Structure 1
């Protein structure tokens, strides 16, 4: 049975955040993981801001997250926090819209000085929404990219770091009891 993963991606179409999302999706290609990418910049921000659940883009995002086993939240870091469109998308989800799900937070940033923004700003939001397991946040800073004739690409050591995060995320999607208990302070009782 394939696992469903939705990527909630802040950042524009040709941004480094979009390149990061494409790289992560390519690492999961060929596995039993079915990926849906929701580019938040393509949603109607007025619909998100007014909680218009009837808007087709918002309704699709809600349905995809609801059906997902895991969620990847990808954001650029601006002004030492995650992107506003990501916050809007998370606000539209139900209070416990991430309950039972594994979550992988990733970001792009100008420097590693912004790396803690994911842990101090985004992680508490994800935790409050009931995420079962949140993989260690991973940031690709400007120093993690190299320019070439085809555009920016990730350095080998950055790819290795991200590969480990993706492996941890994929492991957390497993439905074995010992994996389902990841991140839970309570021992689940056998029925």
Structure 2
């Protein structure tokens, strides 16, 4: 199967977005994919804000993108756009860091007014970075995600069903892209 880089662009240590990404990571692992997680908030702020392309943490993040066949990009939506933290990282990656990759965009937010942020804010950036295929993403309302006292994420049933479907479509698209490569090897 494929190596998938799962990127959380949330600045919050208690992020529902990051927990949602981990939830989907588990599903991808059960489907046989190797999943590597990247929390953008764990990268040094001075490197992100100072555009330090040569910082070892930024170089390693770029290498993680290069090694992945698929990328999940999860972000909270703030003011109708993806997080500034995620933008900082994407700006430091090579122009075509997503070349040949299958990408699944995910977003969380407090209002359905932000549902188009995936298609109008995030998808154009992912496409400009050379993504071979940006599968239809999914926006999940904050109210559909609850975190228990033990940190366990619970996803409302309708949202869980939709998320499973988009994750499965991503997995199928990823497999379809890798199949011709396996035949030529």
In 1, the alpha carbon distance for the partners of 2:178 and 2:87 equals 32
Q: CA deviation at 1:46?
A: 2.1
- Deviation per CA, 1:26-64, whole angstroms, max 9, x where unpaired? 111233211111100111122123332332221111001
SS at match of 1:27: helix
In 1, the alpha carbon distance for the partners of 2:101 and 2:162 equals 22
- Deviation per CA, 1:104-151, whole angstroms, max 9, x where unpaired? 000110011101011111110011111111111211112323465545
- Give the TM-score of the pair, scaled to structure 1: 0.86
Counterpart contact for 2:16–2:147, Cα < 8 Å: no
In 2, the alpha carbon distance for the partners of 1:37 and 1:160 equals 23
Query: Unaligned stretches of 5+ in structure 1?
Result: 181-191
- Give the TM-score of the pair, scaled to structure 2: 0.88
- Which runs of at least 4 in structure 1 moved beyond 4 Å after TM superposition? 146-152, 175-180
Match of 2:9 in 1: 10
Q: CA deviation at 1:179?
A: 7.9
Q: Rate the CA distance shift 1:33–1:140 in 2: closer, same or farther, 3 A.
A: same
In 1, the alpha carbon distance for the partners of 2:177 and 2:147 equals 42
Q: Rate the CA distance shift 1:146–1:37 in 2: closer, same or farther, 3 A.
A: closer
Counterpart contact for 1:9–1:18, Cα < 8 Å: yes
Q: Rate the CA distance shift 1:176–1:5 in 2: closer, same or farther, 3 A.
A: closer
Q: Rate the CA distance shift 1:78–1:175 in 2: closer, same or farther, 3 A.
A: same
Backbone CA RMSD of aligned residues: 2.0
Q: Indicate the structure whose relative CO is greater, using CA pairs within 8 Å and at least 6 residues apart.
A: 2
In 2, the alpha carbon distance for the partners of 1:101 and 1:43 equals 23
Query: Unaligned stretches of 5+ in structure 2?
Result: none
